[in-house]
Amino acid sequence: MSSKKHSVYKDEAPKSDKPKKGTVLRIIKTIFRNYPVRATLATICVIINAVVSATPSIYMQKIIKLVEDVYATGDWDAIKGELFLIVGILAATYVASVVSIFIFYRLMAVITQGTLKNLRCSMFAKMEACPLRFFDRNSDGDIMSRYTNDVDTLRELISECIPQIMISGIIVSTLIGIMLYFSFWMTLVVVGSVVAMFFVTKKIGGMSAKHFIKQRKTIGKAEGFAEEMMHGQKVIKVFCHEEEVKAEFDKLNDELYRDTERANSYGNVLAPVLNNIGNLLYVILAFVGGIFLVTNATNLSFSGLAFSISVVVPFLNMAKQFAGNINRVSNQITAVVMGLAGASRIFEIIDMEPEHDEGYVTLVNAKEGENGELIETDEVTGIWAWKHPHTADQTVTYERLRGDVRLFNVDFEYVEGKPVLHDISLYAKPGQKVAFVGATGAGKTTITNLLNRFYDIADGKIRYDGININKIRKSDLRRSLGIVLQDTNLFTGTVLENIRYGKLDATDEECIAAAKLTGADDFIERLPDGYNTHITGGGASLSQGQRQLISIARAAVANPPVMILDEATSSIDTRTEAIVQRGMDALMKGRTVFVIAHRLSTVKNANVIIVLDHGRIIERGSHEELIALKGQYYSLYTGAFELE
């Protein structure tokens, strides 16, 4: 008996209040991993464009100096050649800038969309690998928001924000170097403005980021609520809850409005503040430069240039360019924060712990040898066997798949400290039909979920054909079990494709035979295109009973040795139920079957009926034995006690 406790919701997506550290670095690594050549070439193009954008002031200084020399000497011919050379070099650099930025944006179109495609694939693949408890704890709308809104904000971050920040960062760094080359004293004035801009950005940008992160979560909640209400429109209208639903949505929408309003109120004020700091910097530099010119102050620079118009004018131009790039970066703060918040939510899904599967016993096709022993084969023989490797002696044994299921002292809890099943022990021999009855919440469906290992037991053991269920690989375990749920789920496609979902390599003839076996063939043939009738919207054009019949046919085509019928006929009318019951009887013949039913008439012929109450088995026996006992089953069957 295992004493290991399992935390059922340990792999729930974390709900962080801020982007994780290293998110930007992870995005960049993802880009370079997927597109190493294109990303490197794009980076080179960005550097070329940024450096070219930062250097015109050098040429401006040289041109102004040449003009000063002309005024001093009056010899135009002496500088004409040098002037044309400078203009030619400047023109060539701008051509290089245009070409590099053209190549860059062409490359980024591929890099951005390709990266998003890969992330969506990774997110979907991880979502498919997550256990069912992940979907129990996260709304469909919130998950969908990660595929839509969060991916879109990440697109803006990759295609616009990161390149713009890179360009502006290189330009600012280059300008600082050129400024130091021109004048150390005037560069100190610029550095003072940078400090002021940094503190303003940190304060205002931080407040904006906080509310933008809240906004991403609120969008997910609002979309999740809207999606849920769309699915539940019939129920809403039947119970006249339109006003209550609108009021609830208004609350979520008001919360979204408040978070968005606060985020934008901080985000929108940042750019004007930084812009005015830049304007103030320009005025201060002009004033300081004018004083230096009038007083003939000594310039301290790496170039040895004296203070003159050829120094001050380009310096003012660089200061304006410097402030402009800082302002452009600040304008990206909002998009960066939203993009990082979206990226964090995407990576939360990608980083989720997948469904653990420590099983090593597999299900294989087998045939009987001359002495009756089972031999593994690639042929489809209709005989299945459990392939059980033994690490102790390095041997492999084969156990015929029979459908013998036994539970020993099983305990289970969805949430720690709140038990759902207590000391459940039962067995189902091959070919037996076991029925579970009891009030809603008694634990009937939970038992079948444990058989599929959608959840792991907290204590006890489950053996399948004598093998501990934890040793069986989950995919092979589930392949041996057929399940028909109360809530049908049909996919977009033809009726035939929906039946084939139970066995993807099934032929058309096998699918039609399964439909005939379960009684679905009769209504399918009357559909406009028969088995080729296209289903959309989850089968909204079909009745609940028709959808259930297709679902039962889907389970039948898989031909599993064990069947789980969870309220399989609860949504079918009495006449249809009689048709389905005949098909179900044929389907259940020779199989181990677990039946959950509220209609007790459907379980009268079960080999054993187990009555559950609050997660405990309180009665078990055949229909006749339980009626004679005159306990709770008797009360349920005679109507003296309601199931609900």
Q: Which CATH class is domain 405-638?
A: alpha beta
Residue 535 confidence (pLDDT) = 85
Residue 74 confidence (pLDDT) = 63
Residue 542 confidence (pLDDT) = 83
Q: How many helices (H) and strands (E) does the chain have?
A: 22, 16
Cβ-count burial of 253 within 10 angstroms (0-12 exposed, 13-18 middle, 19+ buried)? middle
> Can you tell me the mean pLDDT for 96-101?
89
Comparison of pLDDT for 44 and 561, the residue scoring more: 44
Q: What is the mean pLDDT of the chain?
A: 81
> Can you tell me the mean pLDDT for 457-467?
90
pLDDT tens, position by position, 498-523: 898 888 888 899 899 888 887 788 88
Cβ-count burial of 386 within 10 angstroms (0-12 exposed, 13-18 middle, 19+ buried)? buried
**What percent of the chain is helix, strand and coil (3-state, nearest 5)?**
60, 15, 25
> Can you tell me the mean pLDDT for 345-367?
87
> Can you tell me the mean pLDDT for 353-367?
87
Residue 287 confidence (pLDDT) = 82
Cα–Cα distance, 624 to 618 (Å, whole number): 16
Q: The tokens of 587 are what?
A: 């389907």
Residue 11 confidence (pLDDT) = 45
Choose among 371, 429, 370, 373: nearest CA to 398: 373
Share of the chain above pLDDT 90, in %: 11
Domain with CATH 1.20.1560.10 in the chain: 23-350
Residue 38 confidence (pLDDT) = 93
Is residue 343 classed as helix, strand or coil in its secondary structure? Answer: helix
Cβ-count burial of 440 within 10 angstroms (0-12 exposed, 13-18 middle, 19+ buried)? exposed
Side-chain half-sphere of 223: how many Cα atoms within 13 Å? 19
Torsion of CA 24, 25, 27, 28, to 10 degrees: 120
Q: The tokens of 195 are what?
A: 């400090």
Choose among 428, 350, 435, 348: nearest CA to 129: 350
Choose among 107, 90, 105: nearest CA to 52: 90
pLDDT bin (cut points 50, 70, 90) of residue 472 is: very high
Cβ-count burial of 424 within 10 angstroms (0-12 exposed, 13-18 middle, 19+ buried)? buried
CB 425 within 8 A of CB 470: no
Phi and psi at residue 387, to the nearest 5°: -90, 110
pLDDT bin (cut points 50, 70, 90) of residue 407 is: very high
Task: Evaluate if residue 531 carries a pLDDT over 50.
Answer: yes
pLDDT tens, position by position, 428-451: 888 888 989 887 778 888 888 899
Task: Evaluate if residue 296 carries a pLDDT over 70.
Answer: yes
Residue 20 confidence (pLDDT) = 66
Domain with CATH 3.40.50.300 in the chain: 405-638
pLDDT tens, position by position, 539-571: 777 877 788 888 888 888 888 888 888 876 666
Comparison of pLDDT for 591 and 268, the residue scoring more: 591
Task: Evaluate if residue 339 carries a pLDDT over 70.
Answer: yes
Query: What global pTM score does this model have?
Result: 0.69
Cα–Cα distance, 517 to 584 (Å, whole number): 8
CB 566 within 8 A of CB 512: no
Task: Evaluate if residue 8 carries a pLDDT over 50.
Answer: no
CB 536 within 8 A of CB 520: no
Q: What's the CA angle centered on 543, arms 542 and 548, to 5 degrees? A: 95
pLDDT bin (cut points 50, 70, 90) of residue 300 is: low
**227-241, 288-302, 569-583 — which is least confidently predicted?**
569-583
> Which of 322-361 are b and which e, b meaning 16 or more Cβ less than 10 Å from the residue's Cβ?
bbbbbbbbbbbbbbbbbbbbbbbbbbbbeebeebeeebeb
23-350 is classed in which CATH architecture? Up-down Bundle (1.20)
pLDDT bin (cut points 50, 70, 90) of residue 32 is: very high
> Which of 34-54 are b and which e, b meaning 16 or more Cβ less than 10 Å from the residue's Cβ?
ebeebbebbbebbebbbbbbb
CB 367 within 8 A of CB 379: yes
Cα–Cα distance, 320 to 56 (Å, whole number): 13
Residue 6 confidence (pLDDT) = 40
**350-364, 466-480, 559-573 — which is least confidently predicted?**
559-573
Q: The tokens of 367 are what?
A: 């045939």
Phi and psi at residue 163, to the nearest 5°: -60, -40
> Can you tell me the mean pLDDT for 478-482?
86
> Can you tell me the mean pLDDT for 397-405?
89
> Can you tell me the mean pLDDT for 373-402?
86
